[in-house]
């Protein structure tokens, strides 16, 4: 019960709450409302349906009034209170209580509920069964094939690649990338080495908690920029970070903003890339539409073709945070 409700309730002619949830008493308004006789059958009722409102109605004279938090005390409601004998001094006390409660209500509703900044609590995840460092498995031709694939994409030197002979997801045909955070394994990413043989074979199998971001461990304090990409291989190729999809959740944005660096997002050059660009703009980050050959669809491929230094320089030269300028370069950037 609020203070306003308490004051009103303490002046009711009855303190007995009926089974129907109403306090029933003789309506003091019947005569004012043209009834020939004063009510003697307790046909007036008051109800407190919740902490913020009061209702009154009489089923003899039909008088209805009430009060709701955020609104002033109406003259009808005051007349009712006078009718049941509330002294003038108490009525003044009530009016002040209403003003106070309304003011608090306004203040509380004006202040948006502050979101707690997200702090990662990603769980440790073990690597798939039989996972071992790729370099220790090269006598197995399947592992050698995986290593050759990574080498052909200039990725072999960039991570501690793992391999497993497990039949699950044909892991023996995949390069396993441990997904770490603060040095601990939080998941894994297993890409098929080469093109997938059929539609039912997934190109990438991965496991990690939601909102996980790959590459945070590489974001050292001396860096000026943090480069955000869609895919893990893109991130790996330029020491950036990957959000894993074409969306950036608010939680992921919190983690990225906590790095306190200029954020540059590089969307892939497809439809999904446009979504990532929109997310970047909504978080106030820069987007880069680097100038690469049309055939190059993502950052990892660009690094493979042009080398890391050129690609990084190109990304930074083409970063832009102005939405209108971005919309112009978008026309040529997306396929």
| Least distance in angstroms from the C-beta of 83 to Zn ion | 9
Contacting residue, 12, 61, 86, 190, with Zn ion by CB under 5 A: 61
Three-state secondary structure of 266-334? CCCCCHHHHHHHHHHHHCCCEEECCCCCCCCCCHHHHHHHHCHHHHHHHHHHCEECCHHHHHHHHHHHC
Comparison of 65 and 131: residue with beta carbon closer to Zn ion: 65
Selected range binding Zn ion among 29-37, 65-73, 92-100, 270-278, rule: CB under 5 A: 29-37
By CB under 5 A, tell whether 30 contacts Zn ion.
yes
Q: How many residues lie near Zn ion (CB under 5 A)?
A: 7
| Least distance in angstroms from the C-beta of 58 to Zn ion | 3
Comparison of 75 and 295: residue with beta carbon closer to Zn ion: 75
By CB under 5 A, tell whether 236 contacts Zn ion.
no
Contacting residue, 7, 8, 27, 137, with Zn ion by CB under 5 A: 27
Selected range binding Zn ion among 26-34, 66-74, 163-171, 182-190, rule: CB under 5 A: 26-34
Comparison of 40 and 327: residue with beta carbon closer to Zn ion: 40
By CB under 5 A, tell whether 98 contacts Zn ion.
no
Q: Residue 296 in contact with residue 305, Cβ under 8 Å?
A: yes
Contacting residue, 5, 60, 173, 246, with Zn ion by CB under 5 A: 60
By CB under 5 A, tell whether 29 contacts Zn ion.
yes
Which stretches of the chain bind Zn ion, using CB under 5 A? 27, 29-30, 58, 60-61, 63
């Amino acid at each position: 019960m609020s203070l306003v409700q308490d004051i009103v309730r303490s002046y009711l002619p009855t303190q007995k709450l009926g089974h129907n949830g109403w306090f029933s008493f003789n309506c003091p308004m019947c005569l004012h409302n043209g009834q020939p006789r004063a009510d003697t059958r307790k046909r007036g009722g008051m109800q407190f349906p919740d902490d913020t409102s009061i209702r009154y109605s009489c089923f003899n004279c039909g008088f209805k009034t009430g009060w709701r938090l955020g609104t002033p005390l109406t003259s009808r409601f005051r007349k009712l209170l006078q009718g049941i004998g509330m002294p003038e001094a108490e009525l003044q006390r009530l009016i002040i209580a209403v003003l106070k409660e309304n003011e608090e209500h306004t203040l509380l509703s004006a202040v948006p509920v502050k979101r707690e900044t997200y702090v990662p609590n990603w769980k440790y995840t073990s690597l798939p069964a039989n996972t071992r460092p790729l370099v220790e498995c090269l006598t197995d031709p399947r592992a050698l094939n995986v290593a050759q694939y990574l080498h052909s994409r200039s990725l072999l030197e960039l991570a501690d690649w793992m391999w497993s002979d497990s039949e699950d997801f044909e892991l023996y045909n995949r390069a396993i990338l441990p997904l770490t955070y603060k040095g601990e394994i939080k998941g894994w990413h297993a890409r098929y080495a080469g093109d997938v043989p059929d539609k039912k074979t997934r190109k990438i199998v991965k496991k990690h908690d939601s909102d996980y971001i790959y590459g945070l461990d590489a974001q050292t304090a001396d860096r000026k920029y943090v480069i955000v990409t869609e895919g893990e291989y893109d991130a790996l190729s330029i020491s950036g970070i990957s959000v894993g999809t074409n969306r950036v959740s608010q939680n992921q944005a919190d983690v990225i903003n906590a790095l306190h660096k200029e954020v540059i997002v590089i969307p892939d050059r497809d439809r999904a890339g446009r979504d990532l660009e929109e997310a970047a703009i909504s978080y106030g980050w820069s987007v880069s539409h680097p100038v690469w050959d049309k055939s190059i669809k993502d950052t990892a491929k660009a690094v493979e073709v042009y080398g890391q230094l050129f690609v990084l320089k190109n990304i930074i030269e083409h970063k832009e945070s102005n939405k209108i300028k971005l919309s112009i370069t978008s026309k040529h950037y997306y396929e």
